[in-house]
Amino acid sequence: MAKKNKGGKKGASTAAVALLKETKTPFEIREYEHVEGETSFGLEAAQKLGANPEQVFKTLLIVHDKDFAVAIVPVSGQLNLKAAAHALGWKSASMCDPKVAERRTGYVVGGISPLGQKTPSPHS
């Protein structure tokens, strides 16, 4: 889990975990030690957890004007911003600024969950 938490306790709960518990949705937490300086968070997670990168997903926040949306794609792939914008009925889309994404979601970049975001995106 990559969300900062009070006290820095390993395995501390996130808003996503709280939501899963609240809805009685079965889940498993799988943790690994992140290498400082590594920027390909999803591929690092897949490798360290022994998972197929096509079955590990990254959450991306995209924006058009003042509209935001969440895109979920395999860590082995890339988001086609033009196709995402078209699917949302937007003229164009761009990646959200990382600082804005952290403020909106309540998660740190590299650990943004589509669940339990501080400010849910209408198109998520």
DSSP codes of every residue in 20-49: HHHTT--------PPPTT---HHHHHHHHH
Q: What are the tens digits of pLDDT across the range 50-94?
A: 999 999 999 999 999 999 999 999 999 999 999 999 999 999 999
How many domains are contained in the chain? 1
Q: Does residue 28 lie within any of the structural domains?
A: yes
Q: Does residue 120 lie within any of the structural domains?
A: no
pLDDT over 70 for what percent of the chain? 89
Q: Under a CB-based contact definition with an 8 Å cutoff, are residues 105 and 97 in contact? A: no
Q: What are the tens digits of pLDDT across the range 2-26?
A: 444 344 455 568 999 999 999 999 9
Q: Does residue 53 lie within any of the structural domains?
A: yes
pLDDT at 39: 87
CATH number for 46: 3.90.960.10
Q: What are the tens digits of pLDDT across the range 94-120?
A: 999 999 999 999 999 999 999 999 998
Q: Does residue 44 lie within any of the structural domains?
A: yes
Confidence of residue 43 (pLDDT cuts 50, 70, 90): very high
Domain range for 59 is: 6-105
